[in-house]
Amino acid sequence: MDTLLIITILIVFFALAFDFINGFHDTANSIATAVSTKALTPRRAIILAAVMNFVGALTFTGVAKTITKDIVDPFMLENGSIVILAALLAAIFWNLLTWYYGIPSSSSHALIGSIAGAAIASAGFQALNYSGFFKILQALILSPLLAFAVGFIMYSLFKIIFKNNNLSKTNRNFRSFQIFTAALQSYTHGTNDAQKAMGIITLALIANNYQQTTDIQLWVQVSCALAMGLGTSIGGWKIIKTVGGKIMKIRPVNGVAADLSSALIIFTATLIHLPVSTTHVISSSILGVGTSHRVKGVKWDTAQRMLITWVITLPISATVAAMFYYILMLFF
């Protein structure tokens, strides 16, 4: 078996591992509000999230194509297989580290930063596709801000519409509706996050001359959907505690507003083929809802810690990926 084939197999394995880890790392995001308000038991929420993530992953491929061609040129990537393997190892390392400490970090930031860092280590800054890379960066920066704004507006509208309703009755009604919004949230998560591993595998197939187009093959799509679904079935309870309770005390009406807001942002990004951080979109929508509900009710120390992680993830993952690249080059 030649070295190139071995590296390609390793890339596919680690890409699926990344999707699997992404599943249990980000499960908390899509079901945290429903579990926090007891609209769903943890077990039922996990099953719902796993199924809907799987379905979402099979539905679209636009984000995968963006990952394949917009960060680096897959047809001109120097030492492409080593670059991709280093990027995956760095992204997995960061995801596991933040999961262990219960920090809602971004798998998207980690992966995109890792690809950029490994590519720069290989061929310098000219390796980046600047127009595509900065377009992705804009989406990563703007999407949480938009989620905050939409969450704030959504909950403000809820307050106007239901101002004359009994609060406990309103929350009971919204608790039932949260099952739908949790399913929607999980579905949109699958439409965006699972595609990133699809893009990585396709990038590797092109870089290693096993494929000549950026089309996503069916086996790639199905295997990534399965990996995401299986990872989701395990769940990430440490992050549920952060997203679901440490940002603000969530009631059903808050949860529905946050779920609808973040699902709208994520699905819009999927439709225009842009990868976003589902972690930060969901957390930001909760912050927006919390600010509209009661500014003092938001636990801003948690928000500050999340913001710091949001800022440092991309440069740290890029640096770690460059280190992995240099280490791998010693062996291949």
| Residue 292 to residue 164: CA distance in whole angstroms | 18
State the pLDDT at residue 28: 63
Q: What is the 3-state secondary structure (H, E, C) of 200-234?
A: HHHHHHHHCCCCCCCCCCHHHHHHHHHHHHHHHHH
Closest by CA to 84, choosing from 10, 192, 193, 186, is 10
Residues of the chain with confidence (pLDDT) below 70: 1, 27-29, 102-104, 167-168, 235-249
State the pLDDT at residue 14: 96
pTM: 0.90
Per-residue exposure over 58-81, b if at least 16 CB sit within 10 Å of its own CB, e if not: bebbbbbbbbbbbbbbbeebebbb
Question: Structural domain boundaries of the chain?
Answer: 3-329
Count of alpha carbons within 13 angstroms of residue 15, beta-carbon side: 31
Q: Tokens 């439709």 belong to which residue?
A: 271
State the pLDDT at residue 116: 97
> 106 and 308 in contact (C-beta within 8 Å)?
no
